[in-house]
Amino acid sequence: MNWLKKTAWSIYSYWSFGVFFLLMAFVLPFVILIYWTLEERRAGKLAFYFIRFWQQTFCICTGVRYKFVGKEHLDPKRAYIFVPNHASHLDSPALVAGIPEQFKALGKQEILKYPLFGQIFKYLGVTVDRTSVASRRESFKVIRNKIDKGIHIVIFAEGTMNRTEQLLQPFFDGAFRIAVETKTPIVPMTICNARHMLPPNTLQLRPGDVVSIFGEPIETQHLGLEDVARLKKEVFEQIKSNLETFEAQRDPSFITKTNQTQPLSHV
C-alpha cells in the first residue's frame, strides 16, 4: 500500500503546483492591463484583489489554509515594513493572505527571470541587484516613494530562502536601515509550519495550516543608524522565539532554546 500512498501524494503535489501556476497565468494579463491603464496606487489596489483571488482559489483547491495571530496590532491607516522569515514557497501566499492592503516586496533581480512569477513581480515588487551600489540606492528611492504613498513594504531579512536545517538564518541590515532612514515602523512576521508542508528543496506539498504571527509594530521615529544592529537583533530574536515555540507545540521533543512567547491557542 506504500506505493499507492506515494502515488496519491505525488498526484496531489502535481495537481497543487498546476493550480498554482495556472491561476498565476490567469491573473497575469489582468495585472498587466491594470498597471497599463491606471495610476500606480489605484492600480496596485485593484491588482491586489486579483492576487488575493489567486491565493484564495489556490487554498480552496489544495487544502492549504492560512491562519493568523496578532493582526489586531496593525493600524489600517499606517504603512509598515513587514519582516518575515522565509523557508518555503508557501510564504508568498501567506503574505497575500495576511497583509491587509497592497504591498511591494523587495526581491533580488534574478526573480524577474522566473516564468510567470517574475512577470507579476515586475509590477508588484521592487527588485535590487545586491552587487550594485547604484541599484541599492535606486531601490531605496523606490521604496521610500512607495512608503510615502502609504504602501506597505515586505523585506525578507534573511536575503533568500532558508534551505538549511536552522530555523532562521542571520539577518542582513537592509530592512532595518530602510526602516530607520524612512522612520517607518517594522512589523516582525513569523511564518510557521510552511516549511513542514512544503520544504524548500522538494515539491512534495502536504495540506494543512500555515500560521503567521504578527508582532507589535516597532516604532523607528526615535532611532538612528547607530540603532540598526539592536533593532535587527530584536526582530531576529522575536521571530526565532516564535518559531521555537511553534516547533515545541508541534513536536514536544523539540527543545526550545529561548523563552516561550505568545501561545497559538488563539488560532
Q: What is the pLDDT of residues 162-200, one digit of tens each?
A: 999 899 999 999 999 999 999 999 999 999 999 999 998
Enumerate helices (H) and strands (E) in the chain, giving the number of each: 8, 7
Task: Name all domains of the chain by residue range, CATH numbers in brackets.
Answer: 66-250 (3.40.1130.10)
pLDDT digits (tens, 9 = 90+) for 232-259: 999 999 999 999 999 988 765 544 344 4
Look up the pTM and report it: 0.90
- Provide the percentage of residues in the chain whose pLDDT is more than 90: 70
Task: Give the pLDDT confidence score for residue 91 in this predicted structure.
Answer: 96
| Least reliable range by pLDDT among 45-59, 90-104, 117-131 | 117-131
Cell of residue 172, nine digits: 542582513
Query: Which residue did the predictor score with more confidence, 132 or 218?
Result: 218
- Distance separating alpha carbons of residues 240 and 242, to the nearest angstrom: 5
- Kindly tell me if the per-residue pLDDT of 216 is higher than 60: yes
Sequence-ordered list of residues with C-beta below 8 angstroms from that of 121, at least 6 positions apart, any chain: 105, 107, 111, 112, 114, 127
CA distances from 233 to 38, 55, 171 (A): 40, 32, 8
Task: Give the pLDDT confidence score for residue 1 in this predicted structure.
Answer: 64
Task: Give the pLDDT confidence score for residue 252 in this predicted structure.
Answer: 56
